[in-house]
Structure 1
Amino acid sequence: MPPIQSKPINEERQPEKIQSYGFLVVCSLPDLQVVQVSENIKDQTGFEITAWLDQPLAHRLDVTILAQLKEKLVLTHPTPSKASGEQPPQLSKKNGGRSSDESDEAESRPEEIDRLWLEPTINGRNFHLSAQVTGQELILEFEPANESLTTSQFSHLLNGLSAHIRRAKTLDELIHAAAHQIRQITEFDRVMVYRFDGMWNAEVVADAKRDDLPSYLGRRYPRTGIPAETRTFYYQHGTRMIVNVDTEPVGLIPPFNPKTQQPADLSGSNLKAASGIQINHLQTIGVKASLVNAITHNTKLWGMFVCHHRRPKFLDYSLRDLCQTVTQILSDHILFKSTTERHNYIYQIDTIEDKLFQQMSHSWDVVAGLTQFETTLLDLNSCIGAAIYFDQKLILQGITPSQTEIMELITWLNQEIAQNIYATNDLTSVYPPAERFLNKAAGILAISISKSLKEYVVWFKPEIIQTVTWSYPGSAPAEAQGNEIQPSWQQSFDKWREIIKNKSLPWQESELATAGRLREQIINIIIHNANELRALNQKLGKANA
């Protein structure tokens, strides 16, 4: 899978805006002086901007809250300078956070105050406060404090959700169960699970929704529908909530930090406003509010929970936290199930490989060992047929092209393919004569035993005609811009069906690895037979001397 690329570090940042359901305060470090505030701070707190700006944070936060905040800060160093190389103040690690030996992804995530956050009261109004240190700034985000889940309520819900998810027997059941559980606790109109393929195209693999809404299950989205910058954000930060797409975002006053002459770094902000493209997309499909949680697997972005609502919707931090916990449970179960399935597959293939080797070794006959016993070449992968050309003999098994067609294919392989192991699920794109036998061999996996003798083992997969439903904005699938295909979010949200022909199902990396090991075993047996023959000839030579 192609890596997710972040923006260049030295790219000049422009001032960003936040969603208006909360407000934001930027403080300098280590003095905790307020240097920037969001434009809506008076609407949110009742205090004028001048009552905040250029004032100590202590003037507006309760002594207890301020003490709790300072407790989380490591203020043992003054503001760092490039010359000194000193480190800026850091927020303490989250309780129950990731360990230091986990992925680079974890290391790139901004440090937050622990999951319980702080709960200040300002001018008689209750808020939830989260904080993060970015460079020489402390960024404080405030959002309305609705009635939150108590610890016992959180635990009760989590235990029930975990039980539902654990009952799932397959990965598909697991994903659907998680989507339904998240919809149940959030009451969103729709909760989907997107899964990314190797090219970052996304497929809807679960769709828990209101009965009156159309199903998006099976829909696919091109990689440009979820741009690399968006994927990077979710990979690094995990979640994003949009409360109301119709409200105007608010900026910061002043736009640039007067002490650093730079805009505030809102890359990890919960309140950060969504891009205009994303807002236009949601408005086009009739969605007013959304919540997205990233699903990671083996330190990669595996997919996302995507929640949509047709009315503005604010989800309290405790419910968002519960959703993230469910997401983490799903990620852990995906890892467990995929690891278990892989171990089972490896055990099964190891058993087949050992059996084939024993059969070939029994009489040191390669062809007989691979074709004349209960376990054969056909058991080694997901093929429907196989052929082995060895010692000037062609042996066929299962459903295959004709002998003439196979010999022509082997001649082409020997002349055109340099690799000793070669696989394709689109044979006609490189070998047009394959159009004659697509129902038997639209895809092949081939290993060379001896190029000089033109000896090969070839496995075959048939054509599988697939109908793929893509979600494209507009009457055309997309508009080409440079080397990328850019969606036109401003147009109507249509679906477009692509008929995929001439291709088989793809070969898995594990199947290529297994074929490579079989090739080594065959060559070892050939070498053994050659050495045995040499030894016999030497004995005969001595006997005749």
Structure 2
Amino acid sequence: MNKKNFDSDFCGSLPLHQINMIQSYGYLLVLEREDLKIIQASENANEILGLAVQQLVRTSFRDYITKEEADNLYFKFQTDIIEKVPLPLTIKTEGYTGRFVAIAHVKNGYLILEIEKAGEENSFLNVFQELKYVMAEINRSESASQASSVVVHQLKKLSGFDRILMYKFDEDWNGTVIAEVKEDDMDAYLGLKFPASDVPRQARNLYLKNPYRLIPSRDYTPVKLYPVINPVSQAFIDLSDCNLRAVAGVHLEYMKNMKISASMSIRVIRNDKLWGLISCHHRSPKYLSYEVCSVFELLSSVISNKIASIENKEFFQYTSALQEKKSRLIGNTYSYLNLSEGLLNQDINVADLFNAKGAVLTFKGTTSRIGDVPDEEDLKNLIYWLQSKGDEEVYSSRNLPGEYEQAASYQEKVSGILSIPIDAEKGEYLIVFRPEVITTVTWGGNPEEAVRFEADRQKYHPRNSFSAWQEIVSQTSLPWTEQELEVAESLRSFIFEFTTKHLKN
């Protein structure tokens, strides 16, 4: 099934960094670095600073906070700090005093301050105590699925969200729900797969900058900045790494279709790449203070480290097992000084190495076979096709019939192929085959309807339904792993060296 790739073709090109408004649960100020003058402000800043935004611009932020806080802000950001830094603020205006947290961003020529009301200290301490228990539970987990189950259940206790789920991205950035806890009367998503366009490419990139994304209410009124154009850059200000950044309309519609009013997403990182997301849903508006969000940010690091530890251990164990099998194959080949004997006819063979059901070696006019492989005429045509591709590197596919039409006639025993060229011009290859594995994928809604366009093909809407929608996937094998492809490449190098040095005649 060839799905429409909304993730790259459309959704992935939306300019989220150009959203020039903020959510209404906080306030945004842009300051000159040298004198802390306000050069841009969100239009709701009058709520805490006491002046209309037009009057605030060009005043000094020093006038609204204590001298100690102003000096601290100034001196901290005369350096080249690039990380976002939280700072406590006490804002005092005529007849008003308030405690706030400011998240400060250093930009080229100016500072961005995201300002939120400070939470209650006791609340923060209580949550932090609970967090220590959650961390201990996560660290006791022995698998990624067990760690994921622990974190969603404990996060629900800490936050009170109606539903929390963890989903893991696959190689195509579709997300599968691997853990879920929810209120009894909510739809279940456990085991469902969601298309990549639900969290499109540019949104995923933002999670590498921002540990979490909070939307306390989908029905908020966006707050504009004044002036609209940043006076330093002479362009829209880039709010892509701001927690307060306004939400794209299509995502608010997506939330409405999901029947939720508030959401929070927390990243899970493995080896500097986005592994998955913890997604929190609430049916009514729900705000979490910056302090509590910071606890969740810390928890994101804990679960990320644990999953990385578990999966890296599995990765290295599997890699070690592959290398051990490859070494035995190489040893056998040197013992017999014969490729066919060493790779196909011993107690371990190349099909065992690659978890395949069949293998073929075509070399010096002879074809050797083991296991389930195409018949002689089909094999000859397949090799002609491989030659026509002109590949001198390892070639792999888990959907051979989708790339080579004639393979559909024998897809049951051969849907996956891993081809190692020995001398492609002569039609000499080492090829291993995997059989078809028919799978049923249950999607959260029809992936072909992930995006619904209006008549002008410009405006679009997310799907209305997240009900289970099943797809039967055929003509595919188990995927070839990163480690297997690396071993195949090293085996190609060995075969080249072996044939060059030991089989000259």
TM-score scaled to structure 1, two decimals?
Answer: 0.79
Corresponding letter in the other structure for 2:189: Y
1:25 aligned to 24, 29, 52, which one? 29
Shift in Å at residue 72 of structure 1?
Answer: 2.1
Q: 1:237 to 1:46 in 2, by over 3 A?
A: same
Shift in Å at residue 521 of structure 1?
Answer: 3.0
Cross-structure match for 2:181: 208
Corresponding letter in the other structure for 1:113: V
Range 133-142 or range 437-446, more displaced:
133-142
Deviations 1:440-494 (Å, cap 9, x if unpaired)?
1011112233446543322111112222233458994434799x99962274555
Cross-structure match for 2:403: 430
Shift in Å at residue 294 of structure 1?
Answer: 2.4
- Write the distance in 1 (CA, Å) between the matches of 2:254 and 2:327: 54
Deviations 1:240-291 (Å, cap 9, x if unpaired)?
2111111212223443456775554433322222111111211221111111
Q: 1:226 to 1:475 in 2, by over 3 A?
A: closer
Shift in Å at residue 320 of structure 1?
Answer: 0.9
Q: 1:514 to 1:487 in 2, by over 3 A?
A: farther
Cross-structure match for 1:313: 286
Structure 1 vs Structure 2: percent identity of aligned residues?
29
Task: After TM superposition, list the pairs within 5 Å mapping 1:19-418 onto structure 2.
Answer: 19-44=23-48, 52-74=56-78, 90=79, 93=81, 111-114=83-86, 117-122=87-92, 123-148=96-121, 153=126, 156-257=129-230, 262-390=235-363, 392-414=365-387, 417-418=390-391
- Write the distance in 2 (CA, Å) between the matches of 1:273 and 1:23: 12
What is the DSSP-based 3-state SS (H/G/I as helix, E as strand, rest coil) of the residue aligned with 1:423? strand
Give yes or no for contact 2:419–2:429 (8 Å, CA) kept in 1: yes
Range 145-154 or range 299-308, more displaced:
145-154
Give yes or no for contact 2:394–2:419 (8 Å, CA) kept in 1: yes
Range 132-141 or range 310-319, more displaced:
132-141
Alignment coverage as a number of residue pairs: 494
| Superposed CA RMSD | 3.6
- Write the distance in 2 (CA, Å) between the matches of 1:405 and 1:304: 45
- Write the distance in 2 (CA, Å) between the matches of 1:282 and 1:12: 17
Give yes or no for contact 1:179–1:206 (8 Å, CA) kept in 2: yes
Q: 1:353 to 1:60 in 2, by over 3 A?
A: same
Cross-structure match for 1:100: none
What is the DSSP-based 3-state SS (H/G/I as helix, E as strand, rest coil) of the residue aligned with 1:323? helix
- Write the distance in 2 (CA, Å) between the matches of 1:149 and 1:202: 37
Shift in Å at residue 522 of structure 1?
Answer: 3.5
- Write the distance in 2 (CA, Å) between the matches of 1:504 and 1:481: 37
Q: 1:248 to 1:297 in 2, by over 3 A?
A: same
Higher relative contact order (CA 8 A, sep 6+): 2
Corresponding letter in the other structure for 2:88: L
Shift in Å at residue 376 of structure 1?
Answer: 1.5
Give yes or no for contact 1:394–1:403 (8 Å, CA) kept in 2: no
Deviations 1:511-541 (Å, cap 9, x if unpaired)?
233223333333444444445x6xxxxxxxx
Give yes or no for contact 1:473–1:487 (8 Å, CA) kept in 2: no
Q: 1:48 to 1:380 in 2, by over 3 A?
A: same
- Write the distance in 2 (CA, Å) between the matches of 1:57 and 1:44: 12
Corresponding letter in the other structure for 1:328: S
What is the DSSP-based 3-state SS (H/G/I as helix, E as strand, rest coil) of the residue aligned with 1:441? coil
- Write the distance in 2 (CA, Å) between the matches of 1:525 and 1:166: 47
- Write the distance in 2 (CA, Å) between the matches of 1:424 and 1:481: 37
Cross-structure match for 1:81: none
What is the DSSP-based 3-state SS (H/G/I as helix, E as strand, rest coil) of the residue aligned with 2:265? strand
Deviations 1:113-155 (Å, cap 9, x if unpaired)?
24xx304254133322222233333333322223145786565
> Tell me, which stretches of 5 or more residues in structure 1 are unaligned?
75-89, 94-109, 534-545
Range 371-380 or range 351-360, more displaced:
371-380
Give yes or no for contact 2:48–2:91 (8 Å, CA) kept in 1: no
Corresponding letter in the other structure for 2:259: G
Q: 1:392 to 1:203 in 2, by over 3 A?
A: same
- Write the distance in 1 (CA, Å) between the matches of 2:56 and 2:484: 64
Corresponding letter in the other structure for 1:446: S
- Write the distance in 2 (CA, Å) between the matches of 1:438 and 1:408: 15
Give yes or no for contact 1:39–1:253 (8 Å, CA) kept in 2: yes
Cross-structure match for 1:517: 490
Shift in Å at residue 193 of structure 1?
Answer: 2.4
Higher Cα radius of gyration: 1
Range 317-326 or range 228-237, more displaced:
228-237
Q: 1:480 to 1:369 in 2, by over 3 A?
A: farther
Corresponding letter in the other structure for 1:65: E
Corresponding letter in the other structure for 2:361: I
- Write the distance in 2 (CA, Å) between the matches of 1:438 and 1:380: 22
